[in-house]
Amino acid sequence: MLRLMEKQLLIFDLDGTLVDSRADLATGINLMRAHYGVPPLSVEIIEGFVGDGIRKLVERSLQGADVNLEEALALDKKFYAEHMLDETALYPGVTDGLKKLAAAGHALAVLSNKPGNPSRTILNHLNVGGLFFRIIGGGDVPNLKPSPDGIFALLEESGAQPEDVWMIGDHHTDLEVAHNAGVKSGFVTYGIGHSGEFTADQVWNGFEEVVRFFTANKHE
């Protein structure tokens, strides 16, 4: 069991929270669309489809197209795997910020609706994978966010109590999963999602604000 040095377990979303993956996600989708002879979509349109898992991303990206969803899903996975490290980068301040949070004794984890293997590949490629005690993605637990399965798995492994846990993300699914799991929620405004009908416990405009909040010794 993980020994928490302080009271906080910080669970981060991936796309739109730790990494800006919009360009590579768009590349995968548009290569898949090109396979079917469908014109490309803008990055801005595609980023609006992100947040609920790859199946929903593909489904939304093919609205009105008469194609087999399972085949399209397999094609997008293939194309994205070939290009997911092309332009994807950590948001400003994330590398140093994660190191500061870890040095302060916080336990760090990732819970993403992106499939687990690509999630781990990206974070390891960006040299921050080792800062997390667990990286959970789609397929690693039975259900995607906003199901609390992933948070419950992290609670069990870490031994943390719900009142000492934060789910931090850029999408309403992150706020909803926090609510469903009974943990605190933090929303970052710089990402690609939206908060929907949910109100976060804290809102931050940059990753450096997240770091300051959790390293200011303001927690009981």
Tell whether the torsion through CA atoms of 30, 126, 3 and 186 is positive or negative.
Answer: negative
Instruction: Give the integer Cα–Cα distance in Å for 2 and 214.
Output: 19
- Catalytic-labelled residue, pool 13, 140, 149, 174: 13
Q: Is 201 a catalytic residue?
A: no
Give Dmax (Cα) for the chain: 58
Residue with structure tokens 């469903």? 180
For every residue of 81-103, which 3-state class applies, written as one string?
HHHCCCCCEECCCHHHHHHHHHH
H or E element in which residue 33 lies: helix 22-35
CA angle 87, 91, 95 (to 5 degrees): 105
Strand partners, 186: 168, 202
The 8 Å CB, 24+ separation contacts for 124-127 are 125/85, 126/19, 126/88, 126/89, 126/90, 126/95, 127/95
Helix axes 94-103, 207-215, angle to 10 degrees: 10
Active site residues: 13
